[in-house]
């Protein structure tokens, strides 16, 4: 991601892990995988297409402030992202540093920052960002490094 900043001047990016069968290149470029026409596949296809529209129409940097597509383990953020208030009092950077469990943030080049999180940190932080309107996508996610994918376990009979 540092090279994308140095060479292309990138202001936003992310690193994802996605099964090859699910088309990681398409996810990034706006091309749905069209797997099985299930409800989940349709939701995925809509998210991919709608995010692509936002990027191509230049709405990523709207007057409401920059959005993130979702929260990923590695997020490349601009100064605009890192200085935007998250809770009405703290900038995102201050909020991350305020307490443990919100990942780590470091400047990498030209006012660009890497925000890195573990799966457990993403499960804790993502709902806060969704509620604050920071994320384009707030769909349920499965985290492979956590028991039950990080999803709540519903007891039998409940």
**Residue 101 per-residue DSSP state:** T
Long-range contacts of 15-24 (CB under 8 A, 24+ apart): 15/72, 15/73, 15/74, 16/72, 17/73, 17/144
**Tokens standing for residue 10:** 């990138």
| Contact status, residue 151 vs residue 126, Cβ threshold 8 Å | no
Q: State pLDDT tens for residues 22-42.
A: 766 776 766 666 667 667 777
**The pLDDT of residue 105:** 96
Q: What is the pLDDT of residues 69-104, one digit of tens each?
A: 899 999 999 999 999 998 788 999 999 999 999 999
Looking at residue 45, its pLDDT comes to 82
Note the pLDDT of residue 96: 96
pLDDT at 3: 85
Grade residue 157 by pLDDT with cuts at 50, 70 and 90. low
Asked if 74 and 1 touch (Cβ cutoff 8 Å), the reply is yes
pLDDT (0 to 100) of residue 101: 96
The predicted pLDDT at position 15 comes to 86
Confidence (pTM)? 0.81
């Amino acid at each position: 991601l540092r090279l994308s900043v140095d060479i292309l001047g990138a202001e936003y990016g992310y690193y994802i892990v996605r099964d090859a069968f699910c088309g990681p290149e398409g996810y990034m470029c706006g091309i749905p995988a069209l797997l099985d026409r299930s409800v989940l596949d349709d939701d995925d296809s809509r998210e991919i297409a709608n995010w692509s529209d936002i990027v191509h129409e230049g709405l990523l940097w709207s007057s409401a402030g920059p959005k993130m597509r979702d929260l990923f383990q590695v997020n490349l953020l601009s100064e605009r992202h890192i200085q935007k208030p998250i809770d009405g009092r703290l900038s995102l950077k201050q909020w991350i540093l305020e307490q443990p469990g919100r990942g780590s943030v470091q400047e990498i080049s030209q006012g660009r920052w890497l925000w890195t999180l573990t799966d457990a940190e993403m499960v804790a932080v993502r709902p806060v960002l969704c509620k604050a309107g920071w994320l384009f996508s707030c769909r349920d996610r499965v985290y492979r490094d956590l028991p039950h994918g990080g999803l709540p376990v519903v007891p039998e009979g409940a």
